[in-house]
Structure 1
Amino acid sequence: MWSEPAPGPRAVPGARVAAPDDTPAWRVLVVDNDPDVHAATCAALEGQLLFGRPLVFMHAFSGDEARALLLREHDLAMVLIDVVSEPGSSGLELVDFIRHSAGLGNTRIVLRTGRPGQVPDLETLLRYDINDYRTKAELTRDRLLAMVVTAVRSYKQLCAVHASAYHDPLVNLPNRAHFIDRVNACEQRGLDDHMVALIDIDDFSATNDMMGHHFGDRLLEQVARRLESSLPAGVLLARLGADTFAVLGPVPQVQPRRLLECVRQPLHFEGVAHKVSLTCGYVLLPKAPQPGADLIKDATIALKRAKRDHRGQYLQYADQMGTEARARARLLSELRDAIEKQQLFLVYQPQLELGTRQVTGLEALLRWRTEDQRFIPPDQFIPVAEHSGLIVALGQWVLETACATMRELLDAGLAPRRMAVNVSTVQLRDPGFFDLVCAALAAHGLQGRHLELEITESVAALPTQLLDLTLCALRAEGISIAIDDFGTGYSSLSYLERLPLDRIKIDRSFTRQLGDPHGARIAEMVAQLGRKLGLSVLAEGIEDAAAWHALRAMGCHEGQGYHIARPMDKAALLPWLGQHAHLQAA
């Protein structure tokens, strides 16, 4: 030893040699069962400033004392470990604890011993990222200082890299990589009393597009601060994606309802109140270890299900969700393959005026026939296309193909008044949707009156300004707008007066119940509502003459269904239209 300090009282475990003022300090933990080593280390490095910051020492005299201290401290630049303090393990059990249980990946570790010949092998040094190994005889005052300088410099550089790689500067929170690391650490420690919760800002993308990215950034910042204020100390909050935040903590301390309620009061931007809502999906950490990335996938599945079915609420992950998600993933892969192999095609179902039997329109319907001649129902693959965003490109193909068919019918003198094409909320959110529709019409020499766009009631959940602007612009071009499957979706009727609409379509489920007094009342109510709002009413699912006459008596203007004609491909459509025109003329 380079100096012999005077005998004195043993230092208190965890005690610090304080910096002279409040300047941030490099914290060094000394683990040794010899009080003289602690005193000598402090004496050798006392008063040193490294990179403008002083050194602060903490002391542990056994592995157990060190473990207790390591769980409390999260900013240790360096740990000096006497391997003899950990009998039978050469200090490696404590090193493993530092790296994995305490999660101190950047902390520099130096092993030292009074016994030569105890150097760990190269594999061990690399596995635990041990910076140096020295006998106490080697550590003169100058060598100790040089070793500490090297270790602190390395720690400083690693912290800078970590801050860049594991921190989100926009919201001043840990990022996805940091969050996954922490979830992995919890799994390794067997903390099955923890949960991972993902929180998403509803309609953030549309708001960002409408209000601009500066507004979106400020919205993210304010939501981050609200979430922070709703969480107790020690619970991790991170930004996982564009508008998705993640929480990791003990189950009693992470309350999804409280997370969602943190934005109950409006946010304020430049004195203007802005109301937002959040949706949450969460998963409990399992007893059997599972990679952090997989747990986040499970929480994401729960979040997406909540966004679809329980917007503004929270939902816990269940294994059945994972099974369904994997099935959707397989279906999405098959759908992409089907598009490349041109297995998707359009069929057309005529729409007739119930009073005159005149063909007034055609509805273009998307179908998928596999290589083995199986038909995949639209209600299976359309939601998958919408969820993945594939519906935007697929919808463009449907629109262009339907417009091409309309052009062909016009040239043949067989065209009805309009071609109806279904449009999803995903397409309406697309900023380029209006231009895409206009381009499709222009490419085939059509006017706006030749096209009708069918939207579902779910569009009423879109931001009002976005929806109104888009639909008004389309109607200004002469394009008509119809609400499809009316009565099966959005519960509020206020949107019927608000939105620029031309037609209501009675859902086939109500048409099929015309023999039942309750079902008949619903269909009649929709017909009356349409008349009072000045909207045309079209009934789907007319399968017999009795339904035809009942709907006509209710004041329903138009209809479609198997009693009129089944959906047919273009090759069958032209002869059908020609024959129907001949019968009408007769």
Structure 2
Amino acid sequence: MWCSPALGWLDTGSTAAPEEPTAEPDPSPKWRVLIVDNDPDVHAATCAALEGQMLFERPLVFMHAFSGDEARALLLREHDLAMVLIDVVSERTSSGLELVDFIRHSAGLRNTRIVLRTGQPGQVPDLETLLRYDINDYRTKAELTRDRLLAMVVTAVRSYKQLCAVHASAYHDPLVDLPNRSHFIERIHDGERRAMEDYILALIDIDDFSATNDMMGHHFGDRLLERVARCLEAALPAGVLLARLGADTFAVLGSVAQVQPRRLLECVHQPLLVDGVPHKVSLTCGYVLLPKEPQAGADLIKDATIALKRAKRDHRGQHLQYADQMGTEARARAVLLSQLREAIEKRQLFLVYQPQLNLDTQQLTGLEALLRWRTEDDRFIPPDQFIPVAEHSGLILALGQWVLDTACATMRDLLDTGVAPLRMAVNVSPVQLQDPGFFALVRTALADNGLQGRHLELEITESVAALPTQLLDSTLGALRAEGISIAIDDFGTGYSSLSYLERLPLDRIKIDRSFTRQLGDPHGARIAEMVAELGRKLGLTVLAEGIEDAGAWQALRAMGYQEGQGYHIARPMDKPALVHWLQHHPQRLQAA
């Protein structure tokens, strides 16, 4: 048994400290016990009573504090204390219960066992206090004979050992050998009780990790997580908390001087060698600077998450700091999501249909099914507001299936009444395309309504080009094999590379209405001409959206556009109005 000189006997000014041992201390693991008492004799007696004891194959090491202030300073430095023996009331330790509160909350020592001692039997804390502070035992100094003291220490150390084992299991991620989400959140909650000025909480996410997992297998994904964890660990100085917060998301908590988001992203600048295979990795980071005043840990993590999601959406591969405006927008999206769920339940969403015509023959070629939302007070919520919310929340899967089923049922009715066009066009989200069951859902919708694949066209946006190539090609290829046509919607507003047009199995390009409206401008007209030429070279039909007057119709037709839709042809209509329009639609429309 060794009384640690480095952390131990403090000079009281009136009592000399024991002579320090000349031998180096044993570097093997020890059970560390802190004694807090203003009486040096108590310290000496405790050491003497337990001299030479080995508990669970480890020796005891005692540290000593003669006042509450000395104890607090030591507690903030130590993170592996098995036991603290505290004099409940003494002139120099103030209230023992204040120190207990400091141990549990400020120092964050949850597993450390606490034993209270006093020379006055009438000062026993009540049961509620013992439970609230998780106090292991309470004894008067007169009770603590050598045998009783040993039994008390054995019990406390055994309890500490068991709690550490449970803590290690519950708070550790064995895959990446880092603290897990529970540990990180607990550390944040501990920080709520004191301001952590000039601290930063950062979340780092691996870009396209799900796609890598799907293509390379989960074993490769696990090894990739390990490699990223080690890179992040190497990029952070000692004392910074790094944890795995989610499937492919890591969390960092440290001072601004220690945590530099750009450096964290650059730690994977070179391809990582995973199972002998070089793999290029991109990380995205969202972070929040901790305020001067203590703030709830859950709120801090939420703010960092908002910044991360915004970065993933608009600044992939970069870092983004949380701003209050992001929180305002996030709350607005949350409100809109709640309203959208209610609108779906109350059947406030419905479909309208806009005709598509052949610009040469003026004959009806197709209909586009468009989703609309009208509130109880007769307001319309624009699709560009609620569709992104539905996509982000996952609601788009059920909503998209309803749109597909409803549009197919309408097509069936039009066929039965003899006024159906060649096809019904339905918009499809990238989220739907990534659903493994999407192809089966499309086939079921067709079969349930007695339709063939040629009766359906699926409109996708340029953003699908960012999806994994193998997934996209296989899904679209299977759909076209069923006779379903594929169109790129809102062409010219999204993905910058045109290489995907040659790669994807497509039938039609729909130029966005913003270019149609710019036909009077030389620059806008050139873009429209280029898209028409691109369609001819790729063998794709080109359809113009937003035709609002006869002049636009004539200009687009002259450029080589085969089809079009817009207010000059017909506005979007609900099903009854559509049937009436189709029944009374003249065989040929005048372009002039």
Choose from 403, 426, 431 the match for 2:408: 403
| Equivalent residue, structure 2, for 1:367 | 372
Question: Number of residues paired by the alignment?
Answer: 577
Find the aligned partners of 2:482 and 2:227 in 1 and give their Cα distance. 40
| Equivalent residue, structure 2, for 1:61 | 66
Given that residues 458 and 486 in structure 2 are in contact (C-alpha distance below 8 angstroms), is that contact kept between their aligned partners in structure 1? yes
Shift of 1:248: 0.9
Shift of 1:95: 1.9
| Equivalent residue, structure 1, for 2:142 | 137
- Structure 2, unmatched stretches of 5+, are 1-13
Shift of 1:57: 2.1
Given that residues 31 and 85 in structure 1 are in contact (C-alpha distance below 8 angstroms), is that contact kept between their aligned partners in structure 2? no
| Equivalent residue, structure 2, for 1:29 | 34
| Equivalent residue, structure 2, for 1:159 | 164
Find the aligned partners of 2:196 and 2:502 in 1 and give their Cα distance. 53
Choose from 338, 341, 344 the match for 1:339: 344
| Equivalent residue, structure 2, for 1:304 | 309
Choose from 350, 353, 364 the match for 1:348: 353
Q: CA RMSD in A?
A: 2.3
* Secondary structure of the structure 2 residue equivalent to 1:523: helix
Q: Structure 1 pair 204/30, CA: closer, same or farther in 2 (3 Å)?
A: same
Shift of 1:377: 0.9
The 5-angstrom pairing of residues 483-522 of structure 1 reads: 483-522=488-527
Find the aligned partners of 1:12 and 1:566 in 2 and give their Cα distance. 97
| Equivalent residue, structure 2, for 1:119 | 124
Find the aligned partners of 2:103 and 2:18 in 1 and give their Cα distance. 22
The 5-angstrom pairing of residues 62-211 of structure 1 reads: 62-83=67-88, 87=92, 89-211=94-216
Choose from 4, 9, 17 the match for 1:10: 17
| Equivalent residue, structure 1, for 2:226 | 221
Deviates more, 1:382-391 or 1:293-302: 293-302
The 5-angstrom pairing of residues 318-333 of structure 1 reads: 318-333=323-338
Find the aligned partners of 1:273 and 1:423 in 2 and give their Cα distance. 35
Given that residues 210 and 466 in structure 1 are in contact (C-alpha distance below 8 angstroms), is that contact kept between their aligned partners in structure 2? no
Cα deviation code 1:508-536 (max 9, x no counterpart): 11111111122222222222222222222
Given that residues 16 and 58 in structure 1 are in contact (C-alpha distance below 8 angstroms), is that contact kept between their aligned partners in structure 2? no
Find the aligned partners of 1:156 and 1:213 in 2 and give their Cα distance. 35
Shift of 1:51: 2.5
The amino acid across from 1:354 in the alignment is: L
| Equivalent residue, structure 2, for 1:295 | 300
Choose from 531, 543, 550 the match for 1:545: 550
| Correspondence 1:436 to 2:433 | no
| Equivalent residue, structure 1, for 2:250 | 245
| Correspondence 1:534 to 2:539 | yes
Q: Structure 1 pair 31/168, CA: closer, same or farther in 2 (3 Å)?
A: same
Find the aligned partners of 1:349 and 1:488 in 2 and give their Cα distance. 21
Deviates more, 1:430-439 or 1:165-174: 165-174
Shift of 1:64: 2.7
Q: Structure 1 pair 18/181, CA: closer, same or farther in 2 (3 Å)?
A: farther
* Secondary structure of the structure 2 residue equivalent to 1:188: coil
* Secondary structure of the structure 1 residue equivalent to 2:237: coil
Cα deviation code 1:314-341 (max 9, x no counterpart): 2111111111111111111111111111
Given that residues 19 and 55 in structure 1 are in contact (C-alpha distance below 8 angstroms), is that contact kept between their aligned partners in structure 2? no
| Equivalent residue, structure 1, for 2:11 | none
Find the aligned partners of 2:122 and 2:22 in 1 and give their Cα distance. 32
The amino acid across from 1:548 in the alignment is: W
Find the aligned partners of 1:16 and 1:505 in 2 and give their Cα distance. 86
Find the aligned partners of 1:207 and 1:420 in 2 and give their Cα distance. 32
| Correspondence 1:49 to 2:49 | no
Find the aligned partners of 1:217 and 1:407 in 2 and give their Cα distance. 48
Find the aligned partners of 1:59 and 1:137 in 2 and give their Cα distance. 20
Choose from 267, 270, 278 the match for 2:272: 267
* Secondary structure of the structure 2 residue equivalent to 1:453: strand
Cα deviation code 1:333-391 (max 9, x no counterpart): 11111111111111111111111112111111001112222211111110110000000
Find the aligned partners of 2:38 and 2:427 in 1 and give their Cα distance. 77
| Correspondence 1:564 to 2:557 | no
Q: Structure 1 pair 11/437, CA: closer, same or farther in 2 (3 Å)?
A: farther
Q: TM-score, normalised by structure 2?
A: 0.92
Deviates more, 1:286-295 or 1:35-44: 35-44
| Equivalent residue, structure 2, for 1:3 | none
Find the aligned partners of 1:374 and 1:478 in 2 and give their Cα distance. 39
Given that residues 12 and 59 in structure 1 are in contact (C-alpha distance below 8 angstroms), is that contact kept between their aligned partners in structure 2? no
| Equivalent residue, structure 1, for 2:384 | 379
Q: TM-score, normalised by structure 1?
A: 0.93
* Secondary structure of the structure 1 residue equivalent to 2:103: helix
Shift of 1:398: 0.7
Shift of 1:130: 2.0
The amino acid across from 1:501 in the alignment is: L
Find the aligned partners of 1:404 and 1:425 in 2 and give their Cα distance. 23
* Secondary structure of the structure 2 residue equivalent to 1:473: helix
Find the aligned partners of 1:431 and 1:11 in 2 and give their Cα distance. 73
Q: Structure 1 pair 451/385, CA: closer, same or farther in 2 (3 Å)?
A: same
| Equivalent residue, structure 1, for 2:7 | none
Deviates more, 1:280-289 or 1:383-392: 280-289
Shift of 1:257: 1.4
Q: Structure 1 pair 12/267, CA: closer, same or farther in 2 (3 Å)?
A: farther
Find the aligned partners of 2:454 and 2:512 in 1 and give their Cα distance. 24
Given that residues 362 and 588 in structure 2 are in contact (C-alpha distance below 8 angstroms), is that contact kept between their aligned partners in structure 1? no
Find the aligned partners of 2:22 and 2:583 in 1 and give their Cα distance. 95
Cα deviation code 1:23-55 (max 9, x no counterpart): x22211122333333332222222222223322
Find the aligned partners of 2:577 and 2:22 in 1 and give their Cα distance. 88
Find the aligned partners of 2:33 and 2:339 in 1 and give their Cα distance. 57
Cα deviation code 1:3-30 (max 9, x no counterpart): xxxx9951599x99987562x2221112
* Secondary structure of the structure 2 residue equivalent to 1:242: coil
Find the aligned partners of 1:253 and 1:532 in 2 and give their Cα distance. 56
| Equivalent residue, structure 2, for 1:392 | 397
Identity %: 84
Given that residues 90 and 118 in structure 1 are in contact (C-alpha distance below 8 angstroms), is that contact kept between their aligned partners in structure 2? no
Given that residues 195 and 254 in structure 1 are in contact (C-alpha distance below 8 angstroms), is that contact kept between their aligned partners in structure 2? yes
Choose from 457, 461, 482 the match for 2:462: 457
Find the aligned partners of 1:122 and 1:562 in 2 and give their Cα distance. 78
| Equivalent residue, structure 2, for 1:4 | none
Find the aligned partners of 1:194 and 1:580 in 2 and give their Cα distance. 68
Given that residues 37 and 67 in structure 2 are in contact (C-alpha distance below 8 angstroms), is that contact kept between their aligned partners in structure 1? yes
Cα deviation code 1:457-500 (max 9, x no counterpart): 11111122222222222222222211111111122222222222
The amino acid across from 1:301 in the alignment is: I
Given that residues 480 and 486 in structure 2 are in contact (C-alpha distance below 8 angstroms), is that contact kept between their aligned partners in structure 1? yes
